[in-house]
Structure 1
């Protein structure tokens, strides 16, 4: 049995009461939180294998990045001036170069992405991409927790769609047997746009059979609804509801272009959630902003995500909280309609709930996994405030991360990765990056 006492920190529990201890403590036994409280009730440190004095630090649940594509770090800076939330922008700057991608490119790319997430406070992320097996291996080596949705893109090729769904089903079964920190899902890329109606129905049936979630992009723009408006005179989300898509767990990214009727679809579903990617939305040039205030008022769970770092360029979930706050103010036409405290919840417990993991992570409560992030509050930008959430969201940065733990294992210590040096990860990635883009150039020359 292993045990640790983390004390002298400002402990932000993100429990139902948003309990915060100015000088609090958290105890961990065998990877799980065994208790937390105020200084006066701190247990004797002699009974613990490890003791961490975190004076001047904020200790909180690890952040949940609820939508990204980790291997796409290979495309960082490659789509500047293009909107990845349009079919043309995505296909020309991402999909065509992706045709040169090989399985060996994925591990080094995901390793770098995991390192960047870990070093900025993210302990869990939701992934949707191809090469799911290679992604899972890289995530396991990094020690992070992840929901990995096997990316399925049909693009009019029915046989390819069927083959990909079969491969996704095999992936789900294998990962379930592994019983690690990875939760396998299906990832239909986008409904009707590049996954046909027939394939969507097959995906719903298989997800129900296997009891896994569906993670997709939805309502990124008006073209997402073109097919269903022409065929059924209704939006894609309304058509999906009628097709039974919302009977299981559905996690939808972006959702910029939702009507009141669309919001009602999500509200009626038993396990539907939306993940806002505010930075990616702003950078896309789209005029719409995810109606987060209206979704939350309707009882829909809304999480936060970075999207890929071609659309965003950063994995900093602290920055994403800030951008989500700005987006809500702009959309609603009023100052801070979503308080900083709620933005923190969206990046922790609400993200966990969206992924079906709120019983395990997302708050500091006895019995939950010890997935923790510790931010240094002694630097520039941090000063006394009535609520620490406001300082974190609007003054802090992911680069203030000092330590992190996942299932009680320390992943970051004193701003350094514990399992593998960042320099080694970066060196391997740099070689992979050069090799990959050389291959892309050669393919373009042949074409």
Structure 2
């Protein structure tokens, strides 16, 4: 006897912004097995039934993709105010003196708090890079978010540290293989030529190739990489990366504030993506990344939040807004990067950087069913015809307005209520963890990684 199959799940809303050039009003999205099978304009009565989630006077859109984050660092949220973490002074003086006392049991609660922050603000997928990745992954899996988690490799030229980090990375990526459909292990050399010597970089690339995963590194936050490569090789750091075949595997290059415009063509056609964090560049007094030139050269440009020690916000709607304004301000050209381009940067380009399918990041057949909803009344839009919906989403919307978040067809938040994370309990644990960290710092002895 043939078993009766459940009908596809259907999400209905007054407005559906699909991300592929369509606005459905009202619209319906059909989902099976975590994948969108149809997104269509509704004609006539709206569907009903237990399999239908009608969000009413809301806008549904693709979930946002954060391509550069450090989830455990919510434990130290705000401690870097007044410092630039894009410099060795800030990195060593503000972070490393705390991370020296960080041990694995202090990680999971802060990861959970960060994941809740993502879900609350409309991020459905992210790329993380930090050590203790084996403590990050289980919490992310429980949250239901989609992620690529890279084990952060910091070796600073120390042979013993290099061996330890590469071994830990290999063990982590191997253990993650087949563990989750949504969360994958990546390789995370912390910063090319700065915290990682060429030998470690090549070993990291070989690990990524061996396991068929990507790499996630800080790059071009300042001129340090170029100064190193000019002194040792007589070429720019980007030319050296190409020569070393470092960009032959999927690679996220975070920040890219000082990439020479004339060398952006070297990135085009590679498997590398530029993950820009405009708020951190502004807060740190760093140059603005050359976003317009990168787009024009065919580079895959994405968006991130970085850590909340400095950028205390993970709201990618705010980052989209800052990206557009900073690009216009530095170029002295209004609308230098259009709202359509900015939304693509925060959705489809992000999925591409994380290894997704070409259609992922749109609400279209074959795409992953990652979506968010916002009340129409909280999108500050001018009269229809006066302002595009895309402009209103970029310049008149806050992630704090997100009411519903779905990943792979599963609701992670409904009506602002988290469904996968006990945020109150995790915040209480995070406070206890912070008190332990501060106590250790006062005691002076190192407890964690060196």
Partner of 1:205: 206
Q: Which among 33, 40, 47 is matched to residue 30 of structure 1?
A: 33
Alignment deviations for residues 203-250 of structure 1 (CA, whole Å, 9 cap, x no partner) = 122222222111101111112222111111222111111111122212
Partner of 1:313: 312
Q: Distance in 1 between matches of 2:124 and 2:406?
A: 8
8 Å CA contact 2:187–2:207 kept in 1: the answer is no
Q: Distance in 2 between matches of 1:372 and 1:264?
A: 33
Cα offset, 1:35, TM superposition: 1.0
8 Å CA contact 1:188–1:216 kept in 2: the answer is yes
Q: Distance in 2 between matches of 1:272 and 1:201?
A: 16
3-state SS of paired residue (1:411)? strand
Alignment deviations for residues 46-95 of structure 1 (CA, whole Å, 9 cap, x no partner) = 4xx33222222110111101101011111211111110000111111001
Q: Distance in 2 between matches of 1:68 and 1:295?
A: 21
Partner of 1:14: 19
Say whether 1:373 aligns with 2:378.
Answer: no
Cα offset, 1:179, TM superposition: 3.2
Per mean C-alpha deviation after superposition, the further-off stretch among 326-335 and 50-59 is: 50-59
Q: Structure 1 residues 305, 402: CA separation in 2 closer, same or farther (over 3 Å shift)?
A: same
Q: Distance in 2 between matches of 1:173 and 1:285?
A: 39
Q: Distance in 1 between matches of 2:420 and 2:251?
A: 33
8 Å CA contact 1:349–1:358 kept in 2: the answer is no
Matches within 5 A, 1:44-443: 44-46=47-49, 49-269=50-270, 271-286=271-286, 288-359=287-358, 361-379=360-378, 381-382=380-381, 384-385=383-384, 386-443=387-444
Q: Distance in 1 between matches of 2:44 and 2:202?
A: 55
Per mean C-alpha deviation after superposition, the further-off stretch among 1-10 and 82-91 is: 1-10
8 Å CA contact 2:348–2:359 kept in 1: the answer is no
8 Å CA contact 1:250–1:273 kept in 2: the answer is yes
Q: Distance in 2 between matches of 1:422 and 1:36?
A: 33
Per mean C-alpha deviation after superposition, the further-off stretch among 192-201 and 4-13 is: 4-13
3-state SS of paired residue (1:124)? strand
8 Å CA contact 2:253–2:274 kept in 1: the answer is yes
Q: Distance in 2 between matches of 1:39 and 1:61?
A: 19
8 Å CA contact 1:329–1:337 kept in 2: the answer is yes
Cα offset, 1:284, TM superposition: 0.6
Alignment deviations for residues 337-371 of structure 1 (CA, whole Å, 9 cap, x no partner) = 11112111111111111111134731111222211
8 Å CA contact 2:269–2:298 kept in 1: the answer is no
Q: Distance in 2 between matches of 1:407 and 1:161?
A: 37
Q: Distance in 1 between matches of 2:224 and 2:34?
A: 46
Per mean C-alpha deviation after superposition, the further-off stretch among 126-135 and 230-239 is: 230-239
Q: Which among 9, 34, 48 is matched to residue 4 of structure 1?
A: 9
Cα offset, 1:12, TM superposition: 0.9
Q: Structure 1 residues 207, 30: CA separation in 2 closer, same or farther (over 3 Å shift)?
A: closer
Cα offset, 1:381, TM superposition: 3.4
Alignment deviations for residues 295-352 of structure 1 (CA, whole Å, 9 cap, x no partner) = 1101000000001111210010100100111111122111111111211111111111
Normalising by structure 2, what TM-score? 0.94
Q: Distance in 1 between matches of 2:106 and 2:279?
A: 26
Per mean C-alpha deviation after superposition, the further-off stretch among 20-29 and 148-157 is: 20-29
Q: Structure 1 residues 119, 84: CA separation in 2 closer, same or farther (over 3 Å shift)?
A: same
8 Å CA contact 2:360–2:368 kept in 1: the answer is yes
8 Å CA contact 1:278–1:327 kept in 2: the answer is yes
Q: Distance in 1 between matches of 2:168 and 2:419?
A: 34
Q: Structure 1 residues 146, 23: CA separation in 2 closer, same or farther (over 3 Å shift)?
A: same
Q: Distance in 2 between matches of 1:125 and 1:384?
A: 34
Q: Distance in 2 between matches of 1:268 and 1:30?
A: 33
Q: How many residues align?
A: 440
Q: Structure 1 residues 3, 422: CA separation in 2 closer, same or farther (over 3 Å shift)?
A: farther
Unmatched segments (≥5 aa) in structure 1: none
